[in-house]
Amino acid sequence: MKTIRGKLIVYFFVFVLLFQVTAISIFVSSTELIDKYDVSFQRFLLLNSISQKSNELYAFTKIYVIEPEDENALAYFAKKMQLATDKEKLADTFGYIETIKVKNYINLIDTFMHESELTIGFVLKGDIEKYTDHLEEVRIAAGYIQEAALELIDVELTAYQSFYVDLQQRKGYFFTFIIFLFFTTIALAVFFALWFANGITSPLNKLSRAAKEVAKGDLIGKPVDIQSNDELRVLGDAFNHMRSNIHGLVQEIKDQSELDQLLKEMELKHLQNQINPHFLFNTLNTISQMAYLEDAHATSGLIDSVAAILRHSLGEIDSHVTLKDEVTIVGDYFRIQQTRFSERIQFVTEIDETCLSIEIPRLTLQPLVENAFIHGIEEREEGGVIAITVRQTAKNVIVEVKDNGEGIELDKIEDLLTLAAVRDDHVGHSTGIGLTNVIRRLQLFYQTTYVVEIESEKGQWTTVRLLIPKMIGGEKDENCNR
Amino acid sequence: MNKYSRLIVYTLGGTLFISSFIGMIVYGYKTFYIEEEVGSSDNYRYHFALVAEEIDNEYWRLIEKGARKIAAEHDIYLEYVGPLKADNDQLLKLLDRMVSVKVDGIITQGVEGQRFVDLVLKGVERGIPIVTVDTDVKSSVRKVYVGTDNFYAGQLAGETVIANTTGEQYVGIVTGRFDAINQQERLEGFKDAIQETERIQIVGIRESNITQVGAAQATYSLLKEYPAINVLVGLSALDGIGMVEGLREIAPNKDVYLTAFDILPETLNLIQREKIDATIAQYPEKMGQVAIEAMINLQQSDLLESEIFTQTIVVEKENSDAFLQGERR
């Protein structure tokens, strides 16, 4: 039953068995009935044969009495032997039916043969009186044999009559049997056909329906459920497996392409920004040196910072840098902003130095800080604080950017984290990279959505927290512990 | 709706299948199953033959009944044969055949004549014991006679007539058959009983051929020939009933004293209705029983006695009730 072929074999076997049993039954019963008939007929033949022979034996006895010659004696004895042989057959032929009647019959034959022997004996002795008496006895006994035979035939015929009636009845039963057999086989055939067809077509229907869905591009439909236990189930399972695989691959491709698109976008912006950055960069260096030579050390430092940020942002966007580099850039950015806003803002850093070697995507931390600056505290008259904390847990390196600015509304946070409004305007960003871009890049880079936490209280403070896993793809980043 | 109709279709289909399958099995069995021929393995100790005067005679059937009872007890196969109509030649032929068939013993009615004597001799010579019932032939070498003392039974009838009548009595006798020894003996007995009584004389004797119609005809012709008859004596079983019939035909109002023989239910009935005055009761069942018992003993050794008489009594209205009940039983 494990395969369709097995099922088919079982179905056919049931039918073949049914017909075989019927055929064998017909054969066996008809053979037995014919045997019965045959036995009955044999009995008739035997009785007839004995009657004839006893008559002939009487005739031979009479001939011998009239002409006592050796030739006639031989004929007599030959006939007597034949009769004795037939008599022996009686018991076998009749078995134990009508034992008394058959016994009587056999005894009659015995008496008959005995009397005929006596007759022959007295003829040999020449005792005329006795042999005529015994010849008469022989004649009478022969008559009795005929009568007894007729009675036996009568009994036999009576039995035969009931046999015949039985045959007629069986004929009627046979007809009814055939009708029932007909209905049984039809019902069985319909049942098997429906069952078998259902067993094949319903899984096939399910499969084809699912295949159509797949063709339409729906890869996340319900898995195909096939109840049968044959090849179709294997087919269904394989289909389900294949579909979920395709779904995973398509998802991967989509993610990949999105990442590529984001990167391309950034690269495009980057190129736009590259119109004359080298010139600018070189000029800034020259200005810095000039300022230094003119003893304007503060100005020189400031210009250096600007140059550092510029250089950092000019680097390949999809390359990784260490967290240390990112922190350094943020330091440069702070210095510039500090110079610009002096007492209005304050930067606080609290950094676990052991974690700075971990690699992160370029330009992730600076946009966060800038974001905190622009949306958090730029508007404030004074007392703005931006704090950066780098610490670690067992699994993650945690980078927190905290400001005491406006705060972000809760639904906005949701939108940011789920990337609902992808295209927000990033006003005033120096690198042109917004918060959403950072979050998305981090998610794609680390292949997890849980990489950024944002907490905020309206009008009080905002914390953006990056959870950078120490392990990427199962490979532990050793640098962190060094 | 779809679910319901589907359920109905399934149920109908299932019912059709199951019923036709069961039908197929049942009729297949009936068509193809052949019972083994169960021949009764007749293994009897002895095989006796009872040769009756007439095969379907009620009286002989009673003898058979008694014989069968004992035979069944002793595991004996009893073959009951007899002529379809009472016929001595037929009976003798059957007797001869039973001898040829070599049964273990023959119980037969005695038949007058040398041929019966010869056949009994032939049988006994071949080692087959022969017992006579109902009627004896003393001249034969039969081992034993079992039955009524017929002479005594005749005497009983005569004495009954003497005791119940007064004045001149003209007796008409209906006998079963003239050539039946038992009838002859009964007649002898009757004659012997009335010999001394001069007021009673027999005026006529007729044969009924042991049939009811025969008895009626005999009665009719007797009364026609001898209108003076005022006593009718029947000597075989059906004579009483036939005599009542015949009397009704010819002289319905005449007061005739009627004695019959045997206690067939109809006879007893007529006694109750006072149509018959008395009957001589024999015990045929007892005869059958005793005959088989004697035959069983004969298989081992000869018996000492050559006659075993069964009881004979007169039944009149007063004591007929017991017999009627006995019959019913």
- SS3 of residue A222 by DSSP: coil
Q: What is the CA radius of gyration of chain B?
A: 28
Exposed, middle or buried: residue A296 (CB in 10 Å: 0-12, 13-18, 19+)? middle
Q: Is A215 exposed, middle or buried (0-12, 13-18, 19+ CB in 10 A)?
A: exposed
Residue ranges of alpha helices (H) inside chain B are: 2-32, 58-73, 88-100, 114-125, 150-164, 181-194, 212-225, 239-250, 265-272, 284-300, 320-328
Contacts of A196 (CB under 8 A, 6+ apart): A7, A8, A11
- d(CA A471, CA A395) in angstroms, rounded, equals 7
A35, closest residue in chain B (CA to CA):
B34
User: How far from the centroid of its chain's Cα atoms is residue A407's Cα?
Assistant: 56
- Find out whether B314 and B281 touch, Cβ atoms under 8 Å: yes
Strands A396-403 and B144-148: unpaired
Instruction: Show which residues on chain B lie within 8 Å of chain A, measured between beta carbons.
Output: 13, 16-17, 20-21, 23-24, 27-28, 30-34, 37, 39-44, 47, 77, 79, 96-97, 100-103
From first to last of its 482 residues, chain A has per-residue pLDDT tens of 567 788 888 888 888 998 898 899 889 888 888 888 888 888 889 889 999 999 999 999 888 888 888 888 888 899 999 999 988 888 777 765 667 788 888 888 998 999 888 888 888 888 888 888 888 888 988 898 888 888 888 888 888 888 889 889 988 988 998 898 888 888 888 888 888 888 788 888 888 888 888 888 777 777 777 777 777 888 888 888 888 888 889 889 998 998 888 888 888 776 766 556 677 788 888 888 888 998 888 888 888 888 888 788 777 666 778 888 888 888 888 888 888 887 788 888 888 888 888 888 888 888 888 888 887 777 777 778 888 999 888 888 899 888 887 777 777 787 777 765 555 455 556 665 677 778 878 888 887 778 888 888 887 888 888 888 887 544 444 444 43
Residue with tokens 């009954």: B160
**CATH topology match: B34-148+284-310 vs B150-281:** yes
Helix (H, G, I), strand (E, B) or coil at B258: strand
Strands laid side by side in the A384-392 sheet: A345-351, A384-392, A396-403, A461-469, A452-457
Residue that has been written with the tokens 């299948």 in this structure: B17
For residues B173 and B147, is the Cβ–Cβ distance under 8 A?
A: no
Nearest Cα of chain A lies from the Cα of B328 at a distance, in angstroms, of: 33
Q: Judge: A22–B31 Cβ closer than 8 Å, yes or no.
A: no
Q: How far is A105 from chain B (nearest CA, A)?
A: 7
Query: Which residue is closest to B26 within chain A, CA to CA?
Result: A177
**What residues form DSSP beta bridges with B81?**
B51
Range in A376-380, A421-425, B173-177, B263-267 with the lowest mean pLDDT: A421-425
Which of A32, A98, A188 is opposite residue B17, by nearest beta carbon? A188
Architecture of domain B150-281: 3-Layer(aba) Sandwich (3.40)
Report the residue of chain B nearest A147, measured CA to CA: B97
Nearest CA in chain B to A194: B10
Taking chain A, what is the end-to-end CA distance rounded to the nearest angstrom?
64
**Chain B contact for A160, CB < 8 A?**
no
Its CATH class, for the domain covering B34-148+284-310, is: alpha beta
With b meaning 16 or more CB within 10 Å and e meaning fewer, what string describes B112-148? bbeebbebbebbbeeebbbbbbbbbbeebebbbbbbb
Q: Which of B27, B44, B103 sits opposite A176 (nearest CB)?
A: B27
Interface touch B23/A104, C-beta < 8 Å: no
Contact A316, A297 (CB under 8 A): no
For chain B, say whether A31 makes contact (Cβ under 8 Å).
no
User: What pLDDT is attached to residue A476?
Assistant: 44
**CB contacts, 8 Å: A187 with chain B:** 13, 16-17, 20-21
Q: Chain B partners of A25 at a C-beta cutoff of 8 Å?
A: 28, 31-32
Alpha-carbon dihedral sign for residues A93, A99, A105, A111 = positive
Tell me the residue length of chain A. Answer: 482
Q: What residue segments make up the domains of chain B, in order of their start? A: 34-148+284-310, 150-281
Question: Mapping DSSP to helix (H, G, I), strand (E, B) and coil, where does residue A191 land?
Answer: helix
Between helix B212-225 and helix B239-250 the angle, nearest 10°, is 40
DSSP state of B319: G
Q: In this predicted complex, what is the ipTM? A: 0.71
Q: What are phi and psi of B76, to 5 degrees?
A: -120, 135
Answer yes or no: are the C-beta atoms of A442 and A466 closer than 8 Å: yes
